[in-house]
Amino acid sequence: MYRDNTCIALSAKQNYTDRMKSFLIYGASGYTGELIARRCKEKKLPAILAGRNPDKIRPLAEELDLPFRIFDLADTQRVRGGIKDCFAVLHCAGPFVHTAEPMAQACIDAGVHYLDITGEIPVFETIHALDDRAKKGGVALMPGTGFDVVPTDCAASMVAAGCRVPTDLDIAFFSLGQMSRGTMKSALLQMPNGNRIRREGKVIGGPLLKIKKTIRLAGKDRTGFSIPWGDVFTAGISTGIPNITVYSMVPGLPVFLAPVLRPFTGLLKSAGIQNFLRNRIDAGAPGPDEKTRNDERSYVYAKAWNREDPEDFAEVELETMEGYQFTVESSLAVLSALEHKPGLSGFLTASMAFGSEFVLSLPNTKVMRKLPVS
């Protein structure tokens, strides 16, 4: 029964395997959270659904016949009470710039592993700052367990290992799939901060739509722009390479329009424009439909090189699932791998925890090209 707004679990008939301990999906009624919840039901995984709104969480939990809990992240005591019997939390409630830290802090306090599906650099920085506390508590902190940033992180680690003295790293990705409402809102919040790149080991800012590059990806030469993707921060941790730039080969944004659009990016700092754009986002589709998720493919490219030695380089291109489909499969694979590799603690990416080949264990993921050939 549901009473008040406390951490109440719905009694449900359980038909779980012994493959995994119970874990909690917070934000299970969001677009990606619901996809993950439904996949858990298909795989008979012991997921507990959670969120702050009983009118959204309860109907989904009853439909899937899964237990649920209701609590707000503002209530620290109830958060800890709602997660303390789980081995991990998969945090799916954005915008993560507001929600990640309170959940991560609660996980450390409760001795529960923390995962999320963010791609926001400020969130990675915030979670990384908790590294020492998490290590002392034996808690793993793994933000970015989805398309942001598992395939790019693993690709980066592959090429870093293939280059003798890597000084620079370029990462690029290409996907035709549309973004969910939550992803668009998170991106909207970050756009006024401009671009981010890593130079000489430090993450620095710059204007959007300024740095561009042409890379052969998905069988064609594609030109894209540098964006503030999570790997600008995380790949510096996982590879140690001091200079990192990430490019998005996004279709539908002609390169020649960049000089026209660039002067207007500053308008995104206006609260009125932010509210207008959020309302427009809410009026759109929640995310890509099932056919798109099943049929589309995403491509990831990484190149590491030594700027003092042009012969010292490595590059790789991966093909994988549509981004949201990837996030579902990747997040659940990380949960399983984390449970079966005890002793992990502190801030970790997928490649740091499980090696760069982890991405190749996921469905419909393969190497398209690799240099040098090992």
Torsion angles phi and psi, residue 284, rounded to 5: -90, -175
Asked whether 308 and 193 are in contact (CB, 8 A), the reply is no
Peptide bond into 159 cis (omega under 30): no
Q: H helices within the chain, ranges in order?
A: 31-43, 54-64, 76-83, 96-110, 121-128, 131-137, 150-162, 181-190, 231-239, 258-261, 271-282, 290-295, 323-339, 350-354
How far, in Å, CA of 178 to CA of 183, rounded?
10
pLDDT of residue 15: 35
How far, in Å, CA of 209 to CA of 231, rounded?
18
Q: Domains, the chain, ranges and CATH?
A: 23-146+326-354 (3.40.50.720), 150-322+358-371 (3.30.360.10)
pLDDT of residue 213: 93
Q: For helices 181-190 and 96-110, what crossing angle results, to 10°?
A: 100
Nearest residue to 88 via CA among 26, 165, 153? 26
How far, in Å, CA of 152 to CA of 301, rounded?
8
DSSP label at residue 35 = H
**Length of the chain in terms of residues written:** 374
Q: How many CB atoms lie within 10 A of CB 255?
A: 13
- HSE-CB of 301 using CA atoms within 13 angstroms: 25
Mode of pairing for the β-strands spanning 68-70 and 346-347? unpaired
DSSP 296-309: -EEEEEEEEEETTE
Burial 49-77 (b: 16+ CB within 10 A, else e): bbbbebebbbebbeebebbbbbbebebee
How far, in Å, CA of 153 to CA of 355, rounded?
10
Asked whether 38 and 64 are in contact (CB, 8 A), the reply is yes
Asked whether 168 and 200 are in contact (CB, 8 A), the reply is no
Q: Is 252 left (phi over 0), alpha (psi -120 to 50) or beta?
A: left
pLDDT of residue 354: 98
pLDDT of residue 18: 46
Sheet holding 113-116, edge to edge: 68-70, 47-51, 23-26, 88-91, 113-116, 140-142, 346-347
Q: What is the pLDDT of residues 38-94, one digit of tens each?
A: 999 999 999 999 999 999 999 999 999 999 999 999 999 999 999 999 999 999 998
Dig out the tokens for 195 from the structure.
């671009």
- Residue appearing with tokens 């992240």: 73
Residue ranges, the chain, pLDDT below 70? 1-19, 176-192, 250-269, 273-285, 373-374
Q: How is the chain split among helix, strand and coil, in percent rounded to 5?
A: 40, 25, 35
Amino acid code (one letter) for 19 = R
Dig out the tokens for 77 from the structure.
């005591």
pLDDT of residue 27: 98
How far, in Å, CA of 57 to CA of 69, rounded?
8
How far, in Å, CA of 27 to CA of 91, rounded?
7
How far, in Å, CA of 3 to CA of 24, rounded?
20
pLDDT of residue 10: 33
- The pTM of the full predicted model, rounded to 2 decimals, is 0.88
